[in-house]
A = this chain, B = another copy of it.
Amino acid sequence: MPLNPTAASLHAATLRAALLVVGSEVLSGRTQDANVQYLAGRLGEIGVPLVEVRIIPDVAERIVAAVNELRAAYDHLFTTGGIGPTHDDITSECVAAAFGLPWEPHPEAWALMAPRYAPGEFNAARQRMATMPRGARLIENPVSIAPGFSIGNVHVMAGIPRVMQAMFESLAPRLPRGRPILARALHSPDIAEGTLAAGLAAIQARHPALELGSYPFSRAAGRGVAIVAKGTDAAAAEAAIAEVAALIASLGGSSVPGEPAP
């Protein structure tokens, strides 16, 4: 049976990233993940679009398998979570195992961390945060010192959003960049997706290098549909959005450029 084709251009981008969230607390519903959205936005800006996220528990064999699968499939793999000092923080040693590398004290991390503690307080648990796959390159943590690291194309970061964001911004300048992914949007409070669908598909077909998405929303500010054109060519995205505005007008609806109010 034929599958409805959809614009897959972004997903064939030159550089593509995946994110592995090591997070039993996200899978139990205790924690609302906040890292996916931040990384997704920033990775789009630097032209390394995020094309897969996996959330798995803090279980060694699951982490090792996911790291190996995702680092082979994508240009960059980011991980968040599981690099603290407690027994459930096992991401670092699992990444070492995935690469088949020794997991050993990292001299630079050790030198950063050890002087921060009173005598005797840089204990075995905290020493684990300075233990990394051999050859790891540190990712600076200006918030709470204990660094993340890169090994090969895998970038291991903390799970606490404020720390993760600081780590990502430390790392970003040394990541290879692609063309930034741009988005242009408009929203309509008074057109139904089902009315718009045929015309929208025709516009998508005329712009195969863009990804045209339709997102109904229902918020305190009202209901409606948001149309988003994404791609690397701003003029093309603007042209497609102008065609969508004309389509909506031709169907008797109205539209406003930009995102709907949150």
In the bound complex, do residue B52 and residue A56 qualify as a contact, i.e. CB atoms below 8 Å apart?
A: yes
Most buried by B among A6, A41, A49, A93: A6
A250 at the interface (CB under 8 A from B): no
Helix, strand, loop or mixed for chain A's interface?
A: mixed
Instruction: Please state if A87 and B36 are interface contacts (CB–CB under 8 Å).
Output: no
Counting chain A residues whose Cβ lies within 8 A of the other chain, the interface size class is 35 or more
Indicate with 1 or 0, residue by residue over A34-71, a CB within 8 angstroms of chain B CB atoms. 10111111101000011111111111111010000000
Q: Render A206-224 as a binary contact track against B, CB cut-off 8 A, 1 for contact.
A: 0000011111111000000
Chain B residues contacting A102 (CB-CB under 8 Å) are 1
Q: Smallest CB–CB gap between A55 and chain B, Å? A: 4
Q: Provided the pairs A55-B53, A160-B216, A230-B28 are in contact, do residues A193 and B86 lie with their beta carbons within 8 angstroms?
A: yes
Distance of A24 Cα from B127 Cα, bound (Å)? 40
In the bound complex, CA of A203 to CA of B83 (Å): 20
Query: How close is A262's CB to chain B, nearest CB, in angstroms?
Result: 10
Give, as a whole number of angstroms, the nearest-CB distance from A40 to chain B: 3
Q: How close is A44's CB to chain B, nearest CB, in angstroms?
A: 6
Residue in chain B with minimal CB distance to A86:
B214
Which of A's residues lie within 8 Å of B, judged by CB? 1, 3-8, 10-11, 21, 24-34, 36-42, 44, 49-62, 64, 84-90, 93-94, 96-97, 102-103, 121, 123-126, 129, 160, 162, 181, 183, 193-198, 200-201, 204, 211-218, 228, 230, 259
